[in-house]
Amino acid sequence: PGISCGRCEKCLLGMDNQCRFYAIVGYEVDGGYAELVKVPRTNLIAKPSAMDFVEAASFPLVFLTAYHMLVNKARVQAGESVLVLGAGSGVGSAAIQVAKLYSANVIATAGEDEKLVKAKELGADQTINHRTQDIAEEARKLTGKRGVDVVVEHVGEATWEKSLRSLAKGGRLVTCGATTGAEGVTDVRYVFSRELSLHGSYMGSKGELLKVVELFRGGKLKKVVDSVYPLKDARAAQERMERSEHFGKIVLTL
Report how far apart the first and last C-alpha atoms of the chain are (Å, whole number).
Answer: 19
Residue 248 domain-assigned (yes or no):
no
For residues 33 and 21, what is the distance between their CA atoms, to the nearest angstrom?
22
Residues 39 and 118 in one domain: no
- What pLDDT sits at residue 33? 83
CATH number assigned to the domain comprising residue 161: 3.40.50.720
pLDDT in tens, 211-222: 999 999 999 999
Asked if residue 127 is part of any domain, the answer here is yes
- 5 within some domain: yes
Stretches in the chain below the pLDDT threshold 50: none
Residues 102 and 138 in one domain: yes
Same domain, 99 and 7: no
Both 20 and 102 in one domain: the answer is no
38-41: long-range contacts (C-beta < 8 A, 24 or more apart)? 39/3, 40/3, 40/6
Specify the pLDDT at position 175.
Answer: 98
pLDDT tens digit sequence for 209-249:
999 999 999 999 999 999 999 999 999 999 999 999 999 99
- Mention every residue, 6+ apart, whose C-beta is less than 8 A from residue 59: 94, 212, 216, 221, 223, 249
Distance of alpha carbon 170 from its chain centroid, rounded?
Answer: 22
- 117 and 68 within one domain: yes
DSSP β-ladder status, 105-110 and 249-253: unpaired
Tell me how many domains the chain contains: 2
**Residue 47 backbone dihedrals phi, psi, to 5 degrees:** -70, 125
Q: Where are the alpha helices (DSSP H) in 132-233?
A: 135-142, 160-165, 188-193, 206-217
Based on the domain organization, do 124 and 177 belong to the same domain?
yes
β-strands 23-24, 81-84 pairing: unpaired
78 shares its domain with 4: no
The boundaries of the domain holding residue 33 are 1-44
Say which residues have a Cβ less than 8 Å from residue 63's Cβ, sequence separation at least 6.
94, 97, 98, 212, 216, 221
Are the C-beta atoms of 112 and 43 separated by less than 8 Å? no
Residues 142 and 181 in one domain: yes
Task: State whether 180 and 153 are in the same domain.
Answer: yes
Element holding 101 (H helix, E strand): helix 90-101
Q: Are 19 and 116 in the same domain?
A: no
Asked, for residue 67, whether it belongs to a domain, the answer is yes
Q: Collect all residues with Cβ–Cβ distance below 8 Å to 123 and sequence separation of at least 6.
A: 96, 97, 99, 100, 106
The reply to whether 26 and 119 lie within a common domain is no
Helix axes 90-101, 60-67, angle to 10 degrees: 50
Together in a domain, 75 and 196: yes
